[in-house]
Structure 1
Amino acid sequence: MLLYVTIGTNDLDRAGAFYDAVLATLGYRRQRQDGTEIGYSLDGDVRCRFWVVTPFNGEPATFGNGTTIALVAETRAAVDAFHAAALANGGTDEGAPGLRPFHPNFYAAFVRDPDGNKLSAVCERPE
């Protein structure tokens, strides 16, 4: 359904370091970069699906209140690694890894990046 997602940043270098470490835990790699954006994709994908950008209008980047971008994690261990990498690279905790009440196998972690954008990694498989 979604073609791609963008996340705003006020410091592209800092955001790139954060997302290089955090998205690698889910299999995403930096594929493209210029002075205003960095694109990530899964190995083998022909296009970047996750972009970190400085706002096109030149205004400061802000986060959306009530907005969360949830990324698929293949294993619960990947959710744990995502959370740990986020905290080790300047992110903040918004919900430690664990089961959530959405259904019996909804295992997720929630973090904020250094710009305040809220992210989640979710594994919906049984252990």
Structure 2
Amino acid sequence: MLLYTTVGTNDLERAGRFYDAILPLIGYGRQKEAQGEIGYGADGDERCRFWVVEPFNREPATYGNGATIAFEAPDRASVDAFHAAALAAGGTDEGAPGLRPFHASFYAAFVRDPDGNKLVAVCEKPV
């Protein structure tokens, strides 16, 4: 359904370090970099589906209140690693790894990146 998504940043270099530290843990990597943007894609996908960008209008980047970017993780250990790496890389905790009430196998961890964008890694596989 979704082609790609973006989050804004006020410091592309810092954001790149943050995302380079967490996204490989759940199967995504940096695939492209250009002036004002970095693109990430899933291993084996030729297209970038997640972009970190400096806002096109040159205004300061802000996060969306109520917006969350969800990444599919291959297993629960990857969710745990994503959360730990995010905190180590300058993110903030928005919900430690664990089961959520959405369904019996919804295992997730929520964080905010250094710009305040809310992210979640989710594994929906039963143990």
User: For each residue in 1:57-79, what CA deviation from the matched residue of structure 2 results, as whole angstroms up to 9, or x when unmatched?
Assistant: 00000000001111101100010
Corresponding position: 1:86 with 2:86: yes
When normalised by structure 1's length, the TM-score is 0.98
Q: Which residue of 1 aligns with 2:18?
A: 18
Q: How far apart are residue 46 of structure 1 and its match?
A: 1.6
Return the offset for 1:44.
Answer: 1.6
Written as runs of structure 1 = structure 2, the 5 A alignment for 1:1-127 is 1-127=1-127
- Output the CA distance in 1 between the equivalents of 2:44 and 2:122: 21
Identity across the alignment (%): 75
> Helix, strand or coil: the match of 1:44?
coil
- Displacement, 1:43? 2.0
Deviation (angstroms), 1:40: 0.5
Matched position secondary structure for 1:25: helix
Partner amino acid for 2:19? Y
Structure 1 distance, partners of 2:7, 2:96, is 22
Give per-residue Cα distances to partners, 1:16-71, cap 9 Å, x unaligned.
Answer: 00000110111111111012000001122121000000000000000000011111
Q: Distance in 2 between matches of 1:44 and 1:77?
A: 21
Q: Would you identify which runs of 4 or more consecutive aligned residues in structure 1 move more than 2 Å?
A: none
Q: Distance in 1 between matches of 2:108 and 2:7?
A: 20
Q: Which runs of 5+ in 1 are unaligned?
A: none
Asked if 1 retains the 8 angstrom alpha-carbon contact of 2:37 and 2:54, the reply is: yes
Contact between 2:21 and 2:86, CA under 8 Å: does it hold in 1? Answer: yes
Q: Which runs of 5+ in 2 are unaligned?
A: none
